[in-house]
Amino acid sequence: MNITHTRVITFSPTHTSLRVATAVARAWQDLPNDILDLTCRQLKSPIRLANDCLAIVSVPVYAGRVAPLALTRLKNVLGDATPAILIATYGNRDYEDALVELRDVLTTQGFLPLAAGAFIGEHSYSRPGMPIAEGRPDAEDCAKAEAFGREARRKGESVGTLTPFFIKGNVPYRTVGTPTPQAPVWQEDDCTGCGTCINSCPTMSIRMTDDGEVLTEPSTCIKCCACVKSCPTGALTFDTPYTAMLHAKCSARREPELFL
Ligand SMILES: Cc1cc2nc3c(=O)[nH]c(=O)nc-3n(C[C@H](O)[C@H](O)[C@H](O)COP(=O)(O)O)c2cc1C
């Protein structure tokens, strides 16, 4: 394999998938690198990555699968026997079938998996007083991500042809029910009207009325909590019983799982 440059490709509403991918990419910091962030962007026409590019594809886990909008955004990213590192970032509960799903989708789109990893990121529903994997990926996770990148690089340099390898997860993938529409709650008294929430929303579901009221369209909200976490004054919250449940049941620290 002759890699001349790397490209991080991500969908990452609360930035944890992006941070993990950036740490993995450090293993190739002697080569040119760029980032294709699809969080708030749908490519209008397909791009095809050549096989001298290493793709580092990092997406969040929603309900044990790849976040659906990440798959939609990835549809226009094609490979041409392009090596890829696959990363699923999850909120310390479980990643179930997300990594095998990512493998299958990217393989169909022309990529050749080189390595895969499940990493832990602060849960989208984590909040002050009820933390879930708060602050992750932390320095230890990022060091592991970089070491994983170095190991993947060694593998890429030592094998002539990439062949399938074990990745944890099941096919058929777990079934996910239809989500119930819900949107974050806005507290007028805490809002400064800065508009950060509007710009952070991957589905453009948030708008501000002429009176300064912030409204979110529940039917298109994907509950990613980008708006909640980007609000500088905490004026948005996402109320779900999952927060307390995950805080109670998923507090034991999980560690990254790596497949090469
Ligand atoms: C709708 C939704 C479903 C989620 N499902 C899971 C899950 O099944 N398992 C898990 O551990 N974390 C789950 N999470 C948490 C995210 O995977 C986690 O916070 C991830 O780090 C978010 O990535 P991002 O920062 O790149 O957006 C879910 C989050 C959301 C918003």
Query: Nearest residue CA, atom 4 of ligand 1?
Result: 62
How open is the CA angle 36-196-210, to the nearest 5 degrees? Answer: 130
Stretch (H or E) spanning 243: helix 241-249
The residue type of 60 is: P
CA 248 to ligand 1 centroid distance, Å: 16
Q: Is the peptide bond prior to 179 cis by the omega test (within 30 degrees of 0)?
A: no
Q: And the tokens for 173?
A: 């993938």
218: alpha, beta or left? (left if phi > 0; alpha if psi -120 to 50): alpha
- What's the pLDDT score for residue 83? 98
For residue range 36-74, what is the model confidence (pLDDT) as tens digits?
999 999 999 999 999 999 999 999 999 999 999 999 999
Domain architecture of the chain: domains with CATH: 5-172+253-259 (3.40.50.360), 185-239 (3.30.70.20)
Q: What is the mean pLDDT of residues 130-153?
A: 98
For residue range 97-109, what is the model confidence (pLDDT) as tens digits?
999 999 999 999 9
Q: Is the CB of 60 under 6 A from ligand 1?
A: yes
- What's the pLDDT score for residue 91? 98
Q: Is the CB of 63 under 6 A from ligand 1?
A: yes
Q: Is the CB of 132 under 6 A from ligand 1?
A: no
- What's the pLDDT score for residue 229? 98
Q: And the tokens for 192?
A: 């400064």
Q: What is the mean pLDDT of residues 17-28?
A: 98
Pocket test for ligand 1, best of 14, 62, 69, 180 (most atoms within 8 A of CB): 62
Distance CA 71, CA 101 (A): 10
- What's the pLDDT score for residue 153? 98
CA 124 to ligand 1 centroid distance, Å: 6
Q: Which atom of ligand 1 is nearest to the CA of 136?
A: 21
Whether the predicted pLDDT of 160 surpasses 90: no
Q: Which atom of ligand 1 is nearest to the CA of 126?
A: 19
Whether the predicted pLDDT of 1 surpasses 90: no
Q: Is the CB of 126 under 6 A from ligand 1?
A: no
Q: Which residue from 233, 239, 67, 79 is spatially nearest to 162, judged by alpha carbons?
A: 79
